[in-house]
Amino acid sequence: MQNDIGRVLLSEAEIVAKVKELGDKLTEEYRGKELLVVGILKGSNVFMSDLIRQINIPLKIDFMMVSSYGNATESTGVVKIIKDIEQSISGKHLLIVEDIIDSGLTLKYLTEMLETRKPASIKLCTLLDKPARRKENVDVDYVGFEMPDEFLVGYGIDYAEYYRNLPYIGVLKPEVYEK
Ligand code: PRP
Ligand code: MN
Ligand code: MG
């Protein structure tokens, strides 16, 4: 598996430092507020579990799982909810956690849908952002790293469901996906 990685873009240590920095900011932002942290499965799983341990105030967590309709490479922007948040979000401060924002289609749809349930606020936190790929304008409140448009894997991000368990963010060698 390590052999499939062309180069490491973000080391484990760089990620740890960034997660701590984000956690500190979020601790201040949400102090005294009723915080619900919502992870978008499956990619956000690794980042979310590290992030919540750096937020030092009471909070609750929940998860959503979504899938885009249409073919695998180009999202249509219509999102199917496979698993929804299990609690009422009315009056709560929502922090949506993503591993990466690419076209923005997933989050655009999700935030508009969640707004209708009248939370007190919705903010977005993503470890990685690929602004060059954006199709929908989404306001991202907390970004770990802006990344180039390359084939990234690791720390929750998959290719064909593999590589999520790498502790760093790497670029896949072209021969892996060109096979
Ligand atoms: C990836 C990633 C984001 C989304 C970003 O998830 O984890 O959720 O795509 O793409 P977008 O900005 O173009 O909408 P994916 O659909 O691959 O599911 P996964 O998290 O289960 O890997
Ligand atoms: Mn995802
Ligand atoms: Mg994926």
* ipTM, 2 dp: 0.97
From the CB of 29, is ligand 1 less than 6 Å away?
no
Q: Determine the topology of domain 12-148 in CATH.
A: Rossmann fold (3.40.50)
What length is written for the chain? 179
CA–centroid distance, 85 to ligand 1, in Å, is 17
pLDDT bracket for residue 179 (50, 70, 90) = confident
Q: Is 126 near ligand 1, meaning CB less than 6 Å away?
A: no
What is the C-alpha to C-alpha distance for residues 42 and 7, in angstroms, rounded to an integer? 24
Contact present, 123 and 143 (Cβ < 8 Å) = no
pLDDT digits (tens, 9 = 90+) for 34-91: 999 999 999 999 999 999 999 999 999 999 999 876 555 556 667 899 999 999 999 9
Domain ranges of the chain: 12-148
Residues 6+ apart with CB under 8 A from 74: none
Residue with the nearest Cα to atom 13 of ligand 1? 103
Is there a contact between 153 and 166 (Cβ–Cβ < 8 Å)?
Answer: yes
